[in-house]
Each structure stands twice: as structure tokens, then as C-alpha cells.
Amino acid sequence: MTTEYLNHIGGEFRPARSARWIDSTDPATGEVWARVPASGAEDVDDAVAAAAAAFPAWRATPPLRRAALLRAWSEAVLARSAELAGIESRDNGRVLRETRDADVPGGALHIQYNASLADKITGDTVHLGGTALASTYYEPFGVVGVVIPWNAPLAMFFAKVSGALAAGNAVVVKPAEQACCSILAACELFERAGFPPGLVNVVSGTGPEAGEALVDHPGVAKLHFTGSTATGRRVTERSAANLKNLSLELGGKSPDIVFDDADLDAAAAGAAAGIYTGGAGQACVAGSRILIQDTIFEEFTERLRERAAAIRLGDPRDPDTGMGPIAFAGQYRKVLSYLESAPADGAEPLFGGRTGAAAVADPALAGGYWVEPTLFAAADNRPAVCREEVFGPVAVAIPFGSEEEAYALANETDYGLAGGAWTRDLNRAHRAIAAIEAGTVWINTFRRIHWAVPFGGHKQSGNLPANGVDGLREWLNLKAAWIELG
């Protein structure tokens, strides 16, 4: 039986005005299991109007009251944690050990963290001498739009919406149509937590319809977009027409550098987790370029092979599953295209590469979008699989000689989201932090993100810090005031 999820607008659940629907496919089986509204501009108009009506009272709500409501929302999320995690695992193939044990409880803690910042929004006083005095104020934008990606919808939803609400904004969310069931299911928790109707609205639909309507809407003062760099460029071009305040969290092609003095067991475990397990490489920070010192290249790639062979592919809702499928058919075809073109482009297959039924043992999952952990080898960054974001369990091992060569290879990319290095040398660790051109650098770990630590990209990976105290300011407008005292 197909499950039906509805938009959440003005505190009510309703279908799209067009009465059209989008099928949601279980990526583990390839079968349709749910449907969501195919919303358009008229639904976005309704959501923006509801948010605009709710904003004045929310802005006037004392910060400690906002914080209390956010904490109530967090508790409501935790009470439904198992159910929401199960929906997400079925909808986008993310394994239960990440949705249940990390995404949902971590999202609830992120809500609590942002709640703790609600009453700490302060400005500065600038003494100019004489009789003049200036002050700075941080104020909410009003109605903000949030576009959520399909790879980790709930974690993103909790993080972005709680930050916007803590800052005093009203919100309209457009989740990715490929995986939005968990977000739509979570919407009933807003009113249960005590939020006023219309404060948070969620409208599902495609990018060209609902997404572009949100970007173009004159009633949306700010837009936060998380997704690919290519789509981020299109969002930037469209938002230029109304000069909307824009925050972008975009893609990456993150280098994971392994020096020959590293703890190779720890590095192999970290590199495998950084690209294969959990989200099947469908993460903007995935360590898809593994740069290995030439003195240990063969040894380390063999360790990676052993780690990859031990990863169990299977039903994402099975707690013993280590890696799930690609999230939807379109992304599956994209990953397959890289697997097919990489050898002719100069990348040598080292292991993996099986897809579909050949990649998974359970016959019941033969129709799913499966790609086993795969590793290529390349001499440099020239092959497309080394330069472009595959967004799947596909990595490339590239050898290097000197430390300087490692950093040159790491930085030879248009992206700058994250990177890492494995070494026992403390001086080298500090050199790596300084040398890698990215918003986040990990030493002897990888793919770690925390709500209290700023996270954002350099180059074409985005333009903001999310998370932490700095991240709250993305939801606030800066105002300066002058007072003449004389």
C-alpha cells in the first residue's frame, strides 16, 4: 500500500493545489512506496503568506520563550526518533545506524544547541569620541526560504529550521522531492511542541516548479540552499533578479591525505568510513580523493580493499547493514556513468565496480540502486572521476611523493569544502591545516561534523559558516544605528 504524505502550510496538512503527486521510490528495492505533493507556485504563495502572517508575533516573542519552544520540539523529535529514522532509511536508503543513532538524535541536540543561542543575540557599541555613539543590532530577516537536499534530509531540516527560528524568523522549506517523506512526517511535531501555526511551512515539489517559485518569491527575504554546486549557480542566477540574501552550502571533492608515518589501520578505517559506509558516498564532505604517499601506496590500497570487502550491503533498515543503496534512479545512473567512463579517462580499477543485483546478496533487493564500494587509481587529478563530484561510493587513490606535492594535489580542485590528513607528526599536522584550502580540515579523523563547530566551504563549495555561534548569524540581518548626544 502506498503511503501518502501532505504539505504543511499554515498549520494544516494538505495536498498540492494542482492535485498532482510525485512517487517516492524505495531505493533498496526500486519499488514505489509513497507519494508526496507535486506543489507549484500557488502552494509556495500560500506558504509564504502563512509565514508572513506568523512572523510579527514570533519576532516579538521573548528569546527565552522561543528557546523553550525549540526545546519542546527537540523532545517531541526524540519521542518519535525510531519512526522518523525508519521513514528516512526507506525513503533515501541511508542506513538505520546513521538515521536512528546519529541523524535524528543528533538533530534533536542541534535544535537544543540553537535554542541555547536564542537569548545570546547581541550587538556592539562603538565609541566614536565627542558626542557621537554608534551601535550594531542583529535582527531577523522575516520570511526565510530553506532548500533541503536528499542525502540527509532530517539532519539538515532540524539544523536549518532551528537556527532560523532561534533568530526570530518564519520559515518556508522546500525539501528535495526525491526524499522528503521523513520531513513531511515530522511536521506534525511543530504544533504539538507549541509553535504557532504558519511559523514553519513545508512544501514538496520539483526544483523547476516549487524550488524556483521559492527562489523568485518577493516575500522571501533570505534563501538558504544546500545542494550541488551546479544547482547553486542556477539559484544564484535566479536570485540576482531580486537580490535576495543568499546562503549556499555546496559540493565538494575532498582530499584525504595519508602520509607514510600515519597509523595505517586507523587511516584505512577512517578513509573507508569517509567515502563508503553510511551514506554510500552521498555526502558533500565524502573523502573521494585518497592521496597516498608512494612508499605505502600498495600496502594502503590493499588495506582499503580489505575494509571495503567487509562492508555489508543490504536492507538500510537492518541494523547490521553497513552501506545502503544510491538514493534514487537519477543519481544511480550518474554514478554508473562514472564507473563506465573512468577507465577510458585514465583511471585504473583497483576493486569494486559491481552494480545492481550483482552488488547485493539478498535477491529481494535485486531491483535496488546498488553500487559496491569502488576504488580507482590515477596518476594525477586529470580524470573526471578525480575532478567531479560523483556522489557515490567511488574513490580514487592518487600517489604522491613529497609533502608539498600532496598539498598541491589536494588543492588542485574547484572545490574547498573539507579535507584531511593522517600523520603522527604534530608539526606536519599543523602544516596540513594551513596548507589545505578548505573550510574544514580533519587530522587523524574524517567526515566529522558537530553543531557547535562552524562548517562551510571555500572556493565553489559555498559562502557561509553553518553551525556554531557563527552559523546563527546567517539567519540575522546586521543594522547599524548612530546617535548624536550633543
Length of the chain: 486
| Contact indicator for 208, 113 with CB cutoff of 8 Å | no
Query: Residue 257 burial by CB count (10 A; 0-12/13-18/19+): exposed, middle or buried?
Result: buried
What are 293's three cell numbers? 604517499
Q: What are phi and psi of 296, to 5 degrees?
A: -125, 15
Query: Residue 65 burial by CB count (10 A; 0-12/13-18/19+): exposed, middle or buried?
Result: middle
User: Which is it for the CA torsion 240, 242, 246, 249, positive or negative?
Assistant: negative
Residues classed as catalytic: 249, 284
d(CA 78, CA 176): 23
Question: Torsion over CA of 306, 279, 377 and 258, rounded to 10 degrees?
Answer: -70
Q: How many CB atoms lie within 10 A of CB 429?
A: 16
Scan for cell 603522527, then name that residue: 424
| Contact indicator for 32, 62 with CB cutoff of 8 Å | no
What are 329's three cell numbers? 534512479
Q: Tally the C-alpha atoms within 13 A of residue 35's C-alpha that lie toward its C-beta.
A: 13
